[in-house]
Amino acid sequence: MNTIIREKRTKILIDKIKQGFFSGNQLKIFALIVMTFDHVGAHILDNYIPFRIIGRLSFPIFAYMIAEGCHYTKHKLKYLLTIFSLGTVCQVFYTLHFGKWNMNIFMTFTLSILIIYALDFAKESRDYLVWCVPMVMVVFALFVTSVLPDVYQGTSFHIDYGFFGVMLPVMVSLSDKKLFKILLFTIGLCFLCIDLEPIQWWSILTVIPISLYTGKRGKLKIKYLFYVYYPAHLLVIYGISELIK
């Protein structure tokens, strides 16, 4: 009898793992929290390494959710313009305040979305020449992330997380199957870690919560929280960092 009960419990646990534990909202909230740790560690605590390590879990989760957003949104242009507009607003403030041209994460994801949309357009077309569009977009992203920073060295211009950061959501978008999404996500994440500093390897841990993602948004409609929180928390952190200098 005990053996039968254990087998049933094991089967229930396996089924639950397959279905997932975390909604998209839960993953995003977690990403917001660890992102805050990262920015506090970077701007207030003088590059405090434990907080920066925690922060490595943020970007990959947001990247995965961007791919999900592109897949499920009914208003593709609105989604693109929202991300780009937020990036522009944050960038204007950052550049005016610090005099630097480090492009923020929303600019990274704007390039990602453009490539994903170009791929979707090519998939829906029967004309093979249309595949030139996503290829051109990838080359454009490579140019912006790898060539322009060398051209404008004196301006500190660069795209946050670089070319492989742009391509991470694109990798996820290449499949509709959860297992293949996770596999492509892991491969893209490895390329990102190789391209960046060694501390980025901590971000591999995000494969665990992503594997337990249910594929559902969640009951609460709080998507605008994620749009507002990013610039709001940066304003607070930059303000505190100025006060304690």
Residue-level pLDDT, tens digit, the chain, 245 residues: 556 555 555 555 455 555 668 888 999 999 999 999 999 998 899 889 999 999 999 999 999 999 999 998 889 999 999 999 999 988 888 787 777 788 889 999 999 999 999 999 998 887 888 889 999 999 999 999 999 888 877 777 889 999 999 999 999 999 988 899 999 999 999 999 999 999 999 999 999 999 999 988 777 777 778 888 888 888 888 888 878 86
46: left (phi over 0), alpha (psi -120 to 50) or beta: left
Cβ neighbors of 35 (< 8 A, separation 6 or more) are 55, 58, 59, 62, 230, 233
What local confidence, expressed as pLDDT, does residue 6 receive?
57
Q: How many residues does the chain have?
A: 245
3-state secondary structure of 99: coil
Cβ neighbors of 136 (< 8 A, separation 6 or more) are 118
Rounded Cα distance, 119 and 125, in Å: 10
The pTM score is 0.89
Instruction: Indicate the domain borders of the chain.
Output: 23-243
3-state secondary structure of 243: helix
Rounded Cα distance, 111 and 169, in Å: 10
What local confidence, expressed as pLDDT, does residue 18 receive?
55
Q: Please give the C-alpha separations between residue 164 and each of 14, 171, 177, 189, in angstroms, as whole numbers.
A: 33, 10, 22, 8
177: left (phi over 0), alpha (psi -120 to 50) or beta: beta
Which two tokens mark 212? 């337990």
Tell me the DSSP string of 24-42.
HHHHHHHHHHHHHHHHHHH
Cα first-last separation, the chain: 67
Long-range contacts of 15-19 (CB under 8 A, 24+ apart): 17/212, 19/214
Rounded Cα distance, 87 and 104, in Å: 6
